[in-house]
Structure 1
Amino acid sequence: MSQDLWLQNYDATCRLAQEIAENIHERNRQQRTGGNTAKLNMTLRASLQKLKQNIAQLRETLIRASTQRHIMQAEADRRQNLVDDLATRETRLNASFNRDISEAEPARSSLMTSGHGSGPAVNPWLVNESEETRGLGFGEIKQQQQQIIEAQDAGLDALAAVISRQKQMGQEIGNELDEHNEIIDDLAQLVDKTDSRIKNETHRVKLLDTKSASCGMLVVIVLLLIAIVVVASWQT
């Protein structure tokens, strides 16, 4: 049995993410060696945009398939986790692409020393420096902040995934309610038809009762007439 289209698109998106990671590594290597990275940066921007679009398409297709019950709920949850992992990977690739690999350690060292002497000068910007950043270079501080941002992005992605699943569950419940309402409407129509038939049959029974009573009276009258004739004949 051939693999379905969603899984094929997912595999292609994973390959695209791997290709982007390799190109970012190559871009960073060229930056370290002083190479020209303009063309590679343009390619990476286009690839990252395509990766974002592919992930959005995977998510939309998955929601549609799950809502229409083309796949089981367990499989839908598994694929949702795959899409969430891809979204997290896409966020990290964007962060890695935008990260400046050159660290300004010499500039920071010059700020820590006096321009006219060899002794260290007091930097007023570092008087209230926290323990987490004390002793770190600018590049390390930037990397630490980037990790915090990535963690926040991952939390937002997880929250978005939960909201998406709740929305999907709400849609499924709404569909089931619509089906139940249709069943109730059908039952109401059947009850109305049955009630109408019962009323018709009751009316017919009443007519038969009336006709039966009329026939009985006629029979009694005929019998009385016959009795009168017999009595009259007997007397004569």
Structure 2
Amino acid sequence: MPGSEAVKRTTLRSQIADALLDEVIAGRLPAGRQFTVKEIAEQYGVSATPVREALLDLCSQDLLDVELHKGFRVREFTYADFRDMVEARTLIIEGMFRRSEDVLRAVTPQQLASARRRAEEAERAALAGDLDILIGYDLRFWREMSGLVGNSYIADFLDRVRVQSWIFTVPLLRRLPDLRGRLWHGHADLVAAVGARDVVRAQEIVDAYNRFTLDLVDGLTRADDAR
């Protein structure tokens, strides 16, 4: 069928990009790790073309750097970068709440029910200290929350910043022997505030979440520097 090969390659490209993104977020491809197209192609048993395209997709998300004559390198984010990420995602969410009256009135029971399920899943993983499971549910939760705005550009940008935040944070969190009780788990409270059309309460929860995150990462970073 004409074009079927192009569709297959595009699908393969997306699958490889998603698989590599999972590896980077989880820290299995750590910051600073160098690799080539050939290496990844052999790892997944595919040709070089979709791999190269997938890697360039991740470069466009500022997750990888191209190194001339060397291949690719997982981007290394700093603590200053992380603080900027938190500020950026705060401004995005504040912007969402500025449109709150129209946005929250338009939220359907089905949307709230879906967000609530994601929230409960994320909370269970957070309370259990299961970082790998939490990352996936947390990212999906915030995609759904930002999707309530009805602006795909806002949702995509927030998702991109949150992915970068996890990439910086995960290696620090993995150094803790037990994550139970150490991770934020206010997802359901935020959904409840949105469901009640309580903009003030929703903003308070997000502000508290940002303070919690900065305090946690600041403590982990200082402990790391003291080693």
TM-score normalized with structure 1 length: 0.27
What is the TM-score with the length of structure 2 in the denominator? 0.28
Q: Which has the larger radius of gyration?
A: 1
Q: Which has the higher contact order (CA 8 A, sep 6+)?
A: 2
Q: Which has the higher helix share?
A: 1
